[in-house]
Amino acid sequence: MAVPVLKSAPVLEVANLEVVYKNAVIALRGVSLTVAEGQVVAVLGANGAGKTTLVRAITGLLFVHDGAIRDGAILLRGEDLGRMSCAQIVSRGVCQVPEGRMLFPSLTVEENLKMGSMTRRDRAGISQDLERIYELFPILGDRRRQEARWLSGGEQQMVAVGRALMARPRLLICDELSLGLAPQIVETLFEMLARLNREDGLSVLLIEQNARMALEYAAYGYILETGRVVLDGPAPQLRDNEDVQEFYLGGGEHVSISYSAIKHYKRRKRWLS
Amino acid sequence: MDKFLILLLTGLTVGSIYSMVALGFVLVFKSTDVLNFAHGEFLMLGSYLALTFLVSWDLNIWISILIIAALICALGVGIHFGIMRPLIGQPLFSVVLVTIGIAIIIRAGLLIIYGPLERGRITQALPQSGFDVAGVPVPWVNMIMFVVAALSVLVFLLFFKMTRIGLQMRAVAENLEAAAAMGVSPNSVFATSWGIGAVMAAVAGVLYANYAPVIDLNLSAIGLRAFPAAMIGGLDSVGGAILGGLIVGVLEQLAAGYIGAEYRDVVAFGLMFVVLMVRPFGFFGKEDVIRV
């Protein structure tokens, strides 16, 4: 595997990570990846490739699913995250927008956002950041007293992003940000992340099925398949790669009626979201 | 009519105790998914400790309530860290059996320390006189019991709605994983729930010791009465538990007054069955109690 050329020191370094569930099911088999300071990195892969497991391992959530790190290391600026609690990890500046948004449905928008600031103690800073989120997403300001369950999918995803930003992360992990959302909203959210990346130097790890979108915004990409990194490289290089085009971008030109082609087609179809 | 008013007022008084107990029961269930069958024993422990504090040592009732609440709170938190925490991930059935085991241990401990003889209710702590409301006599004991219970519930609700840890408790009840992802420690939230639930039961126990006909080892049956109260409101609804407690209290008294004392439990549990048949998740419960 090629070692990515880094412009600056890595924020996050995952090395040979092996994760098992219930001491039996191996979900990750030696995954290594690096996120440099201020970089946007994409991790692409199909269902079951191990993307969400990777997020859980980095953010200390494996315990919820009876999973454990069996080998390897996750280093945040050289500090091992593997043995830390979620609270310690969040307070070190790593926060996530979880897959499926995972809001607290009967809490109000504002309470949901406040949940992102649970590791912080600076009251003034928290209310300042809350106002900033309402500036970023004006619609949330209008709905701050509404229960989150009544929001549309796009608004809910905004709350999820805002909630993560309330932790003042230095590394934001977005798990399937685009899933189930209208293209326009996806674009708005990605633009927002790009802006935060540009202006505040926020490092972003995009975990995505939507390869086209992710590779447009990321500088570097990794492709995960059944728990292994099968390919990695700078985003433009991945976009031009034939296999990636065929499987992940839907741009392959194979026309045939053999069974394998149908299988390919089916596999490709999943990526045409 | 007078009879009805008397029964109604008594029912509200007893109901306020049920509300407190049901609230603690629901709170623990809501955040930890554990049905705590030792909850009635927490209350009984509070009543017995009240005997020691108020009768044997002749202490002031308010100071005693604070000390007893602190002691039983420590017991609740201790049970979380010592027994429940290692059991996380075990099937609900075994966890529930463990709470029944805790109940038996508390019961046995009380039997060893206080003996099997029943005691009369505590009469020296609160004024034994009463006053009239529209011709209906209300004992001070009932009034004080109701007010303290209402205040406790109010303080709890404010805590639940306004504070950081209250917000964390609500969040954990909704989605444990998301709360953890935001850096909330589920363990401290669980421990807080156990602590608050225990405090509610303890305060209710001390109050009830001033009201109950006798204090004996059947007192924990109140915990069982909180069960229909919680079920009627919906097992995951704090507001429902409070209302359910009042409903059960009033209905019980009415049934005892108009039909016969032996119908008290029949009415409470009968109502529970009817409610569960019509609305299996209670009046205020969410349809989907299981966490996704």
B contacts of A98 (beta carbons < 8 Å): 177-178, 181
CA distance B282 to chain A (A): 17
**Angle subtended at Cα B287 by Cα B286 and Cα B290, rounded to the nearest 5 degrees:** 90
Condensed to tens digits (0 to 9), the pLDDT of residues A221-231 reads: 999 999 999 99
Query: What is d(CA B80, CA B91) in angstroms, rounded to the nearest whole number?
Result: 16
Residue-averaged pLDDT of chain A? 88
Amino acid at B138: V
Q: Is the pLDDT of residue A8 over 70?
A: no
Condensed to tens digits (0 to 9), the pLDDT of residues B48-102 reads: 999 999 988 989 999 999 999 999 999 999 999 999 988 877 888 889 899 999 9
Q: Output the pLDDT for position A227.
A: 92
Domain boundaries, chain A: 10-272
Contacts of B37 (CB under 8 A, 6+ apart): B96, B99, B100, B103, B223
CB < 8 Å & 24+ apart, contacts of B261-266: B265/B225
Query: What is d(CA A194, CA A189) in angstroms, rounded to the nearest whole number?
Result: 9
Nearest to B177 among A61, A87, A106 (CB): A61
Q: Output the pLDDT for position A252.
A: 47
CA distance B161 to chain A (A): 10
pTM of the model: 0.85
Q: Are strands A67-76 and A79-80 parallel, antiparallel or unpaired?
A: antiparallel
B contacts of A106 (beta carbons < 8 Å): 170, 174, 286
CB B229, CB B22: distance < 8 Å: yes
CA distance A57 to chain B (A): 11
Condensed to tens digits (0 to 9), the pLDDT of residues A16-40 reads: 999 999 988 999 999 999 999 999 9
Nearest to B178 among A85, A104, A111 (CB): A104
| Of the listed ranges A268-272, B188-192, B205-209, the one predicted with least confidence | A268-272
Q: Is the pLDDT of residue A104 over 90?
A: yes
**Residues counted in chain A:** 273
Query: What is d(CA B207, CA B219) in angstroms, rounded to the nearest whole number?
Result: 13
Residue of B nearest to A62 (CA): B177
The CATH class, in words, for A10-272 is: alpha beta
B contacts of A61 (beta carbons < 8 Å): 177, 180-181
Label residue A88 by pLDDT band (50, 70, 90): very high
Nearest to A104 among B89, B174, B185 (CB): B174
Q: Output the pLDDT for position A268.
A: 54
Mean pLDDT (whole number) for A61-84:
92
Label residue B289 by pLDDT band (50, 70, 90): very low
Q: Output the pLDDT for position B292.
A: 31
Answer whether B177 sits within 8 Å of A111, measured CB to CB: no
CA distance A182 to chain B (A): 24
B contacts of A64 (beta carbons < 8 Å): 176-177, 180
Helices B186-209 and B140-162: angle between axes, nearest 10 degrees: 170
Q: Output the pLDDT for position B19.
A: 92
Q: Is the pLDDT of residue B195 over 90?
A: yes
Q: Output the pLDDT for position A264.
A: 58
Candidates A56, A86, A90, A92: best to mutate against B (most CBs of B within 10 A) is A86
Residue-averaged pLDDT of chain B? 88
Contacts of A135 (CB under 8 A, 6+ apart): A141
Q: Is the pLDDT of residue A266 over 80?
A: no
Nearest to A104 among B171, B180, B286 (CB): B171
Mean pLDDT (whole number) for A232-256:
75
**Residue holding tokens 């499987």?**
A247
B contacts of A113 (beta carbons < 8 Å): none
